[in-house]
Structure 1
Amino acid sequence: MTTTPFDARVAALDADALAELMRSRHSVRAFTDRPIEGAVREALEAQMAAENERAGLSMQLCLDAPGAFDGTLAHYGSFRNVRNHLALVGPAGPGLDEAVGYAGEKVVLLARALGVDSCWVALTYDRRRSPARVGAGERYALAVALGYGEKPGSAHPVKPVERLCRVSGEAPAWFTAGVEAARLAPTALNQQRFRFELLEDGRTVRARALPALSCGRVDLGIARLHFELGANAVSRDWAFER
């Protein structure tokens, strides 16, 4: 299996550094004119291509393309000078939202490791003005604004661990680490409408989305990646329910 830029970054981090990477990613809505180029651009494109191949998606990195964030919707969302975005596109179907959440967050976390800021965007952009191509049978699920922020973002509220999981008895260290990592996952309107349940065998995890105002399945995909990263930093002797 080919090692992706994201895999290489994660492999180089210990558990504390990995948690700090997830903790340091905040939503940023105002950007400078600095372009995404050189080795940073190449790494993001390589990761995106690897995720497209792995999950059968059509994600596209749209650089120097301000049109999608240059209208009334973007101004309503307080976006300013968004010149780059990741278009999350893939086969229309019930699994698309969760798939782009998981895959897109890999690109987002890699971007954070490379010094690039981001913001997940569901509604306040104009996908018709995005240069992303949407083929027959595909859907443009949502976008991620990318760039170098005018200033750092701020931390979002998080729910207590006990509201995000279910476990009988004492939770193993890897499960607790996974839930703690999932707490740091960005979600629409900071809803955190997901739950992780440790099944009776003590090593299988059930992840589910709860009813949400929007983007519940996307949020679950993002949270699943965070859980996986946190748990794997402690132990790999576990698996998600199939």
Structure 2
Amino acid sequence: MTIWEAIEERHTVRQFTDEAVEEEALEALQERIRALNAEFGLKLSLHANEELQLWPGMTLFFSSGVENFILLAGPHGSKAAERVGYCGANLLLLAQQEGINTWWIGGTYSMKKVEGEAGGELYGVIAFGYGKEEGKPHRSKDAMRVSRYEGSEPEWFSRGVEAALLAPTAMNKQAFMITGKDAVVQVSYKAGAFSDVDRGIIKYFFEQGAGKENFRFADAE
């Protein structure tokens, strides 16, 4: 499965079967987590065959079988939060390529149970496994409402925006704006809970759609 196929086929899934995730897939995720932690200074961790305690209303009406998850943790601060979003998005698409369904959870889990295991500030959780169904595409805003390119819009920019519109966000909101000029791209996100995390998610999806060789982010070091 190509990365673009993963972007198109990934949908949020909240109900999972009790089928154990294949060891090869778990190792692929573990290896990627080790690499991301080393490169970005984070504390992402994978937990397999371990029940995630969700809010009672979620387990009663919306979700089931959440027994595999990734804790998205790192240092305190907005830059770390953005890196968590960026790296979490990386893991979402790798999971999809491995045939695994995912659910990015912003805050409907028991903080008390998992904070001690996180080893750092906890920014969210990715639940994963084999879904009872493949999920459905979410409703997306029109590209004209979330993007603007000064001058003639190149194809890579359009593809990047298309990918960003297919990304999940921690609070299920597409409150971002992507602007571009002379192959320099700026991603801004409306201030609010998880906005830094969401900006990182959008950046990663945009980058995969646009091709990182075609542009640079305005705030890149």
Query: TM-score if structure 2 supplies the norm length?
Result: 0.92
Query: 1:22 offset after TM fit, Å?
Result: 0.5
Correspondence list, 1:87-236, <5 A:
87-130=71-114, 133-135=117-119, 138-199=120-181, 202-212=182-192, 214-232=193-211, 236=213
The CA deviation string for residues 202-239 of structure 1, in whole angstroms up to 9 with x for no partner, is 11111111234x3222111111001101111xx72321
Distance 1:76 1:197, change over 3 A: farther
Query: 1:128 offset after TM fit, Å?
Result: 2.4
Counterpart in the other structure of 1:3: none
Q: In structure 2, how many angstroms separate the alpha carbons of the residues matched to 1:53 and 1:41?
A: 18
Counterpart in the other structure of 1:19: 4
Counterpart in the other structure of 1:68: 53
Query: 1:76 offset after TM fit, Å?
Result: 6.1
| Structure 2: runs of 5 or more not aligned | none
Counterpart in the other structure of 2:69: 85
Which SS does the other structure have where 2:31 is aligned? helix
The answer (yes or no) to whether the contact 1:62–1:132 under 8 Å persists in 2 is: no
The answer (yes or no) to whether the contact 2:71–2:126 under 8 Å persists in 1 is: yes
Query: 1:34 offset after TM fit, Å?
Result: 1.1
One-letter amino acid of the counterpart of residue 72, structure 1 = P
Q: In structure 2, how many angstroms separate the alpha carbons of the residues matched to 1:44 and 1:74?
A: 26
Query: How many correspondences in the alignment?
Result: 219
The answer (yes or no) to whether the contact 2:13–2:135 under 8 Å persists in 1 is: yes
Distance 1:240 1:67, change over 3 A: closer
Distance 1:89 1:99, change over 3 A: same
Distance 1:77 1:236, change over 3 A: farther
One-letter amino acid of the counterpart of residue 36, structure 2 = E
Query: 1:189 offset after TM fit, Å?
Result: 4.3
The CA deviation string for residues 95-147 of structure 1, in whole angstroms up to 9 with x for no partner, is 22211111011111110111111101111111322386333xx2011101111
| Structure 1: runs of 5 or more not aligned | 1-8
Q: In structure 2, how many angstroms separate the alpha carbons of the residues matched to 1:122 and 1:31?
A: 18
